[in-house]
Amino acid sequence: MAERKMRLGLSIRGHGYHPAAWRHPDVPADGTLHVEHYVRSAQIAESGKLDMIFFADGAGIRQGDNPPGSLSRTGRDMVELEPMTLLPALAMVTQRVGLVTTASTTYNEPYNLARKFATLDLISKGRAGWNVVASWSEHEAQNFGLETTLDYDTRYARSAEFVEVVKGLWDSWEDGALLFDKAAGQYFEQGKMHVLDHQGRFFKVRGPLNVAGMPQGHPVIVQAGASEQGRELGAATADVIYAIHHSLESAQSYYADVKGRMPTYGREPDDLKIMPAFCPVVGQTRAEAQAKYDRLQTLIDPLAGLGSLYSAFGDLSVYPLDGPVPDDALGTQEHRSMSAQLIERVRRERPTIRELYLRSGLTGSARIGTPSDIADIMQEWFEAMACDGFNITPATLPGGGEDFVETVIPELQRRNLFRIEYEGRTLRENLGLRPVTNRYSRDRQTSE
C-alpha cells in the first residue's frame, strides 16, 4: 500500500486570514481588486506542489455595522473579485494546482452551477472543485429579496438535494457519448445522453447538461460544517471537508465521527480527505515568528474586533474591553459551528473581551514558530489521525503563503510527509481519490 501523504490547500481569498492583514505594510490594501494579486498566490501554491487553492467566498458582505462604526474599520472580506469569473483566468497561468471555490446552494440554481463548474473543469483540464455551503448570513439573504435566511434544517435539506441534482447533471453524458463523426453525420450516440428529469422537494430539473466530457467526471466536492447535518452531508457526498478545530482532541473526535459514518453510504474512509484550517506564522527563529504575529496584533482596531464578535455575543461595546465577557452575552448564535466554539472558549477560559477578539482573530489552528516547529505540529495531527492534511490559511497574502511554501514545505518533504512532484494532472488524482464512474455507465455494466 502506498505511504500516506498529506494533502495541502492554500486559501488565497482576500488579504490573508488575520483580521488586520490589509493594514500590514507588505500587503497591498487594494490587492483584492487586481488579478495579479491572486495570480501571485496561485503560482506560489503551485510552486510548492500544493493540491489546491481555495476561495471561501460569500454572496455579499456578511457583517453589519455592529457596533456602529465597526464596518468601516474592517478590511477583511469587504471587496474582492468574484471567484467563478477569476478561476478561469488563474487556470490559464497554472498547470497542476486545483482550483476550488465556494458557491452557495441557497442563492443559486443547480443547473447554472453544474454548468459553471463543468466548464471550469474543462478549461483547467480537470482541476475544478466546488466548496458546497448553505448560506447562513442575513446580510446575504437581503441581497436576494429575503429578510432573513431559510431555517437551519431547511437550508441543509435544500443543500443535500442541490448536490444530488448537480451530480446527476454531471452524469448527463457518458464517456464516449460525443462521436463527432463527420463522415457518418452523427454528433453523439443517442443511448449515452441522459435526461435527469429530477422532481424533488426543492427542485424540478429536466436536463441534460449542455456541457460534457469533463476530465474528472465530476469536479471535486468540498464541504464544511461541524453540525450534525453538516457531518452527515459530508460523509455522504464530500470528497474533501474543510474543518476548523482548535485542539488535537476535537480534530481527532471529528475525524473519527465523520469517517465512521461513511460505510452507511457505501463509501471507504479514504474516499474523503479531511483538511482542517491551519494558520502558520513562520520565522527563521521563534522570536522572529512571534514578532511577525505581534506586529499584526497591534494593527487590529478595537471596533473591528468588537464587530467580529457581534454575531456570537451581540454588542459588547458598552462593556470594558479589559473586563470579562458578560454571562448574559452567551446566548443564541448566528453561525452555529463557529459561534459555538467561541462561546465554549469563553466558558472554559474566561478571557477579557480584548483577549477574546485578539485570540479569535486567526481562523483555525494558528501556530507561531520556526519551519521545524510548524512541521512538528502538522506531523503530530496527521499521524494521530486528526486529519488527512490541511487547508493553509495564511495570516497575510501573498507573504504568508510564500513563507509557508519556501520554508515549511521543504521540511515536510524532508520528513517524507509531502510530495516532491505532482502525481497526476487532475485535482482528483493528486488528492488520491478514486475516479468517478458515470451512474449510467455503472448501471449498464451491472446489467451486463
Residues 291-309: tens digit of each pLDDT: 999 999 999 999 999 988 8
DSSP strand pairing (240-241 vs 389-392): unpaired
Residue 373: count other Cβ atoms within 10 Å of its Cβ.
18
Q: Mean pLDDT, to the nearest integer, of 98-121?
A: 96
Per-residue pLDDT band at 47 (split at 50, 70, 90): very high
pLDDT tens digits along 12-36 = 989 999 989 999 999 999 999 999 9
341, 386: one domain: no
In this structure, what DSSP letter does residue 72 have? G
In this structure, what DSSP letter does residue 324 have? B
Residue 301 to residue 112: CA distance in whole angstroms: 40
Residue 152: count other Cβ atoms within 10 Å of its Cβ.
13
CA Rg value for the chain: 22
Single out the residue in 341, 360, 379 at which a domain terminates. 360
253, 354: one domain: no
Count of domains observed in the chain: 2
| pLDDT reading at 336 higher than 90 | no
* Phi, psi (degrees; rounded to nearest 5) at 41: -70, -40
152-170 and 228-237 helices cross at what angle (nearest 10)? 10
221, 146: one domain: yes
Integer CA distances (angstroms), 322 to 19, 408, 445, in order: 20, 36, 67
Does some domain include residue 445?
no
pLDDT tens digits along 229-244 = 889 989 999 999 999 8
| pLDDT reading at 337 higher than 90 | no
Domain that holds residue 31: 7-287+365-440
Q: What is the chain's mean pLDDT, rounded?
A: 91
Alpha helices in 52-137 (DSSP H): 83-91, 110-123
Does some domain include residue 326?
yes
337, 434: one domain: no
> Sign of dihedral through CA atoms 285, 291, 296, 300?
positive
Residue 147 to residue 155: CA distance in whole angstroms: 15
For the chain, how many residues are written? 448
